[in-house]
Amino acid sequence: MTQQPSFSERLLSWFDEYGRTSLPWQRDKTPYRVWVSEIMLQQTQVSTVIPYYTRFMSVYPSVKDLAEARLDDVLSLWTGLGYYARARNMHRAAQIVVNDLDGELPKSVEALETLPGIGRSTAGAIVTLGHGGWAPILDGNVKRVLARFHAIEGWPGKADVLATLWEASEAHTPMTRTGDYTQGIMDLGATLCTKSNPGCLYCPMSIDCKARIGNRPADFPGKKPKKALPVRATVFLQCMDAEGRVLLERRPPTGIWGGLWSFPQIEETAALADWLSDNGLTATKNATVQSRHSHTFSHFKLDITQIMCPIAATSSRIGDRGNRRWFTIVEALALGLPAPVLKILNTLTAKD
């Protein structure tokens, strides 16, 4: 009886024929280029990442370039990609690599995990794809492939389920061609073993995939327990002076939209008069409520009320203090901005 090829052997054969080999970060491959791509690809699809990655690498082609950059400029290139802590962490990590590690990304998972924003799976990808070493990975695509192949019950956010998935990943990761295997299993999850309508008919693992055999692909991986997203409310103050400049303030370095520039915010419209007085600003006419927006984060929904407030020219200089400044629309669009702020500013540009 002929022995069935191993999981990794079948995957590598499939990768040799169908794997992706021409993605931007696969050309002129270096640990730095792999790192940037892996951070951008966290919770973000390849098609979305490609134009951001291309622009980012044209501006910061090396870890030294990134380390020497202003955070504002880094965040500007990240605007619209979301999960901005990724960019802040990568910027801090680049400075550590340049200042403390002779400009070289570490070659071990353990050392990489000490850098901001790098977890075990990202570290594993850098080791295998960037350095040619051995390490397992467990991103979202790999979790789905392994959960289905082994019929691993439960939500991967639970510690015991996650531990089982890591054990499976370690067991299947070969000692040779580890980089190709790593890319291959990510590709398999992205192109065949997809979240919905998986292509089981064409999958090299289908013959002994427990989820396929049991006709249960949709059951794996287990779903996160549902709970209603809490709703928060805020008011964006769209203060505009006689020269057409808008007032923006930099968010605190941590938390939602950390380090990005946003409109000043108050909790309710009734607080506007007091806010203007406290900040030495004088409205030239009554403020008006503009369109409302909502923005959904992973753990809550933000309802945004937008108020247009024309400001007298004599008071506009008072706003330039600390982390609050006046910008022309063109200047503002070059900053690191939350998606709702970018949307509003683009609307203002369209009206000009």
Give the residue numbers annotated as catalytic, written as ranges: 38
d(CA 178, CA 174): 6
Give the residue carrying structure tokens 């909790």. Answer: 267
Residue 274 backbone zone (phi > 0: left; psi -120 to 50: alpha; other: beta): alpha
d(CA 113, CA 104): 14
